[in-house]
Amino acid sequence: MSASLDGRSVIVTGAGRNVGEAISRELVGRGARVAVVDLDQESADRVAKVLNGERPGSAVSLAADVSSPDDVQRMVNAAWDALGSVDTLINCVAITDRPTNVLDLSDDRWDQVLRVSLSSAFFTSKYVGRRMVDSGTHGVIIHIGSTSGFFARRNAIAYPTAKAGLYALVRSLALQLGGYGIRVNTVSPNKVGSPVGQAEEPPDRERKNLIGRACTPQDIASAVAFMVSEEASFVTGTDLLVDGGALIASGD
């Protein structure tokens, strides 16, 4: 039986497509209300319109650049105003430097990838966490990781560095926010949906896992819903790997 999320109010960043969109749909389907946040206002509006068509009043759309602390503060305040309060943050934002290596990656691109893929997790956790603590809310924060954070990549260096840093960040967040009743975790896919930064999934995208099929955005959405729910109320400071065994298969 799917865990109910009735009464939950959630910010989902990167929710205009792919994994973020699937998570928003799953959480709304379980009874939550969602602030659909995306850099692109039209994408956020489209997803919120679909959700409100399925369940009126279940979604609001907000545009924000989560690599900007000022924009994150504005977005968080707007979400609180729209939803009344927020008890859950799901951060799905990332960009990649693929295909590059250390010899040709520009300094500006390195900074941009780390800011979008790692600093965004710090900014959103900080400003959502502050509002949760100030209001006495026992909440949940989940960041979407990647198996790229566990091993070296030949065709990227900033993205795997950012994802590896995310795991250290989340452990410290869980330690520092645990006393306020806030759980912090990651959910980590492998090659889910369209590649990072792309709207469409190539039909010939190569995968290597133990399940024998592609990871779908719904696979990640279901895992996130579990981690948000009371069924995972004793889970914090850790990672839920949803990769079909790809990390193990990489050792073949």
- Exactly one of 127, 159, 167, 180 is catalytic; name it: 159
pLDDT value for 208: 83
> What does the alpha-carbon distance between residue 229 and residue 217 come to, in Å, rounded to a whole number?
18
pLDDT value for 199: 54
pLDDT value for 200: 58
pLDDT value for 195: 55
DSSP letter (8 states) at residue 31? T
Domain spans in the chain, listed from the N-terminal domain onward: 9-249
pLDDT value for 250: 73
pLDDT value for 173: 98
pLDDT value for 191: 86
Question: What are 115's two structure tokens?
Answer: 């800011």
pLDDT value for 201: 54
pLDDT value for 252: 46
159 is catalytic: yes
Q: Which residues of the chain have pLDDT under 50?
A: 1, 252
pLDDT value for 224: 98
**Fold observed for domain 9-249:** Rossmann fold (3.40.50)
